[in-house]
Amino acid sequence: MRFCLGRKGTASLVLALAIAATGANLATAQPPDEGGIGAPMAALKPEVFARRNTNVPLAERLSEDPEARVLELIYVLRHYRVFSRDEEMAQAIRELHRIGKPAVPELVAELDRTDRDNTLRVLGIALRALNDPRAVPGLIRAVPRTLRPPGSDCGVSIEDPELLKFVLSFERGASPDQKHMSVGRPVNEISRALERITGHKSPGGDRDPLRGNFLGGPDTEAAQRKKYLDRQKYWAGWWAEHGGEFLPEAERQALDHPTAADAVPGDERDRVDRAGEARFGAIFPTGPDVRLGPVHEVELFNILFADAPSAIDFERHRIFRFQEGLREQDRWHMQWMRRVGVDMIVGGDCDDLRLWVIDDARWETIDNEVLASEPFRPGYEHRGGFFQLEGARTVLFNTRDGGSGILQVEPYRGATASRQVRYRMWQMGPPADDPPALVPPVAEKNVQWSETIDVTLKPPEENAQCGWSLSRKQSAALPRPFEAKDLTQQIWSQDAETDLARWRREQAIDLLATPAPEPHPLQLRTDEKPDLLQIALFDGVARPVRTECFESLTAPAAKALLDEPAARPLQPVNILSSMGIPQPQTYLFRTSRGESGILQFRSGSLKAGLALLRYKLIEEAERPQMR
């Protein structure tokens, strides 16, 4: 799980909802495209894996030289972005902790240089882990730079149990069952580092008012900056009085000034970037022998579709349905993405993908840029935690496997609930390790579709036939008139003895037409007006599929989709409404009574004031008679 806590402390959970496709059949992972990505560059064969491949433990990708190793680790922290390569960040801090005291001067030097939000966060964490008093003057100098625009304290998932145990060992207030590490706003991480190293609390302690102070407009900025400068003076005064308890006077005086920047004539990079690129290689290599592969183009569909591809693995040119191959032990969708090798889903949720936004025109000039002997200028790297590729964008990217490329995404097309994606990869050799092949769902061949049944459901007014029983194949009216608010409350109620619950049991009701209310906290949000009809499916599961599936999807394929882990468990209430997918809306469904099938709203039926729908059930196929 990953989350951010905003100013008011509300958790913003990152829940990806998506599914994608290019064929009407049951799509499985596509084999790698044989063209284009194959030939490795002669100059890049230092190991059997790419040094930027984050699937390989960081400790195995570093130099043996201790000084270079420290700079390489700082290079990793310099380019860290919250929610991207979190385990690599935690591994870097663990390696710095193992190195110990020799790492502190370079960490403090990086703290003096940086004004980058994410880097300030993780440097505070790293220095808190090392717990070395020589870091205190640098931390005090950093206090004014922790005044940032509104942001969040974040929790990032660490899957490796030993790594998680390490990062929680110096996290204040960590619970025994905690599965994430905190990556707080700079003001919090720098303050916590000062407090741990000195054993002295900031003014206000846990209720420190400075931690709720964000950079505002010009009218408030001066007053806000003064608060941070005052805090810096507070800590400087405290250190002047108590620093002798930690360090000799001569050593303290040597630490009182920022580290001078190093420079090499004709090279804009500092020693951290020089060391990082020397070890890991340039993210975007250039030169007369460097080439980009061919253009790969694919259509990715809304992740809600169970039948269509919505996710992509750039390096292996594979597409996936959302959560295709999900396992019961995958606790959340990011575990699935990393296990099968997904880099991006159609909504733009990018996992462990570094992204640089560039001008669209560079798509046409990229080959000339790569052939040049000058260092490549990637452009603006997005610094935020949640980055989604919305609208038409052109970006450069670097994957968790170490591959780099250029990507263009087209705007979302509502008519097809899809986006067109095209990309090219730097020819840097194939990924070292392919994820295990996905096992296609087992489609039972002894099932078939029943006949199609057409149903008209009316709004839930007195004596109106608004409910439908799949097992009895008949409609029913509500037992009594309901006010709209009362009906909505009873639909969502878990009380088995409400009037509606008893009526549903007595009449074996599975479907109910009801006016679309203001969105319930548990239901999918929709832009539909409250006076439109929607359908509630009780005690079951509903998976949207593309419109053509009503005619083209076979019963065995439908059953296989309903048997996937992503289709479990059954929900007390499923609201079937627009959800941003094209009309006529089509769903695979299963109920607690055992009925499974496919259901479709006729185009425009909701706006007509009647719920006009059709469905067919999955049933056992007739066995041929033996002669």
Residue 286 confidence class, pLDDT cut points 50, 70, 90: very high
Boundary residue ending a domain (210, 228, 247)? 247
In a domain, 20, yes or no: no
pLDDT at 26 (0 to 100) = 28
Nearest to 15 by CA among 305, 323, 393, 341: 323
Residues 141 and 77 in one domain: yes
Boundary residue ending a domain (247, 280, 312)? 247
pLDDT at 229 (0 to 100) = 95
Answer whether residue 458 shows pLDDT above 70: yes
Average pLDDT in the 513-533 region? Answer: 53
Answer whether residue 27 shows pLDDT above 50: no
Residues 416 and 525 in one domain: no
In a domain, 592, yes or no: yes
Helix (H, G, I), strand (E, B) or coil at 122: helix
Q: Tens of pLDDT along 467-517?
A: 999 999 999 999 999 988 899 899 999 899 999 999 999 999 999 998 765
Answer whether residue 236 shows pLDDT above 90: yes
pLDDT at 335 (0 to 100) = 79
Answer whether residue 24 shows pLDDT above 70: no
- Could you tell me which residues come within 8 angstroms of residue 171 by beta carbon, excluding any fewer than 6 positions away? 181, 182
- Could you tell me which residues come within 8 angstroms of residue 531 by beta carbon, excluding any fewer than 6 positions away? 515, 516
What are residue 175's DSSP bridge partners? none
Percent of the chain past pLDDT 70, that is, above it, reads: 81
Tokens of 404: 């780099």
Average pLDDT in the 58-68 region? Answer: 95
Residues 464 and 603 in one domain: yes
Helix (H, G, I), strand (E, B) or coil at 242: helix
The two most distant CA atoms of the chain are separated, in Å, by 103
Residue 466's φ and ψ, nearest 5 degrees, are: -110, -10
Tokens of 455: 């149903």
Rounded to whole angstroms, the Cα distance separating 307 from 444 reads: 17
- Could you tell me which residues come within 8 angstroms of residue 495 by beta carbon, excluding any fewer than 6 positions away? 501
pLDDT at 204 (0 to 100) = 81
Residue type, 245: E
Burial of 572 from C-beta contacts in 10 A (0-12 / 13-18 / 19+) = middle
Residue 37 confidence class, pLDDT cut points 50, 70, 90: very low
Query: Backbone dihedral region of 348: left (phi > 0), alpha (psi from -120 to 50 degrees) or beta?
Result: left
What are residue 597's DSSP bridge partners? 589, 617
Percent of the chain past pLDDT 90, that is, above it, reads: 52
Q: How far apart are the first and last CA of the chain?
A: 59
Per DSSP bridges, beta strands 586-591 and 596-601 are: antiparallel
| Between 105 and 436, residue with greater pLDDT | 105
Residues 194 and 82 in one domain: yes
Rounded to whole angstroms, the Cα distance separating 496 from 178 reads: 35
Tokens of 335: 């575990």
| Between 594 and 439, residue with greater pLDDT | 594
Length of the chain: 627
Boundary residue ending a domain (186, 212, 247)? 247
Q: Where are the beta strands (DSSP E) in 148-189?
A: 153-157, 180-183
Residues 391 and 461 in one domain: no
In a domain, 263, yes or no: no
Residue 4 confidence class, pLDDT cut points 50, 70, 90: low
CB 284 within 8 Å of CB 292: no
In a domain, 42, yes or no: no
In a domain, 97, yes or no: yes
Residue 334's φ and ψ, nearest 5 degrees, are: -65, -35
Residues 457 and 415 in one domain: no
Residues 77 and 195 in one domain: yes
In a domain, 1, yes or no: no
pLDDT at 384 (0 to 100) = 45
List the domain range (segments joined by +) for residue 614: 447-620
Residues 481 and 416 in one domain: no
Answer whether residue 35 shows pLDDT above 80: no
Q: How far is CA 398 from CA 53, 179, 190, in A?
A: 10, 27, 29
pLDDT at 578 (0 to 100) = 56
Tokens of 408: 């263009």
Average pLDDT in the 418-429 region? Answer: 89
User: Highest mean pLDDT: which of 499-503, 519-523, 530-534?
Assistant: 499-503
In a domain, 11, yes or no: no
Average pLDDT in the 88-103 region? Answer: 97
Q: Strands of 318-321's sheet, edge to edge?
A: 318-321, 309-313, 344-345
| Average pLDDT score, the chain | 83
Residues 382 and 518 in one domain: no
In a domain, 141, yes or no: yes
pLDDT at 2 (0 to 100) = 55
Residues 161 and 191 in one domain: yes
Among 341-350, 375-384, 499-508, 552-561, which is the least confidently predicted range?
A: 375-384
Q: Tens of pLDDT along 134-178?
A: 999 999 999 999 998 888 889 998 989 999 999 999 998 888 889
Residues 69 and 109 in one domain: yes
CB 281 within 8 Å of CB 49: no
Residue 426's φ and ψ, nearest 5 degrees, are: -60, 135
**Structural domain count, the chain:** 3
Nearest to 416 by CA among 276, 281, 581: 581
Q: Tens of pLDDT along 167-204?
A: 999 998 888 889 899 999 999 999 999 999 999 998 88
Locate tokens 């998680």: which residue? 164
DSSP 136: H
Among 152-166, 239-253, 365-379, 611-625, which is the least confidently predicted range?
A: 611-625
CB 12 within 8 Å of CB 3: yes
Cα 341 from chain centre = 14
Average pLDDT in the 207-232 region? Answer: 83
Please, what's the b/e burial string for 359-391 (b: 16 or more CB within 10 A of its CB; e: otherwise)?
eeebeeebeeebeeeeebebeebbeebbbebee
Tokens of 217: 């407009």
Rounded to whole angstroms, the Cα distance separating 211 from 40 reads: 49
Residues 347 and 461 in one domain: no
What are residue 589's DSSP bridge partners? 542, 597
Helix (H, G, I), strand (E, B) or coil at 13: strand
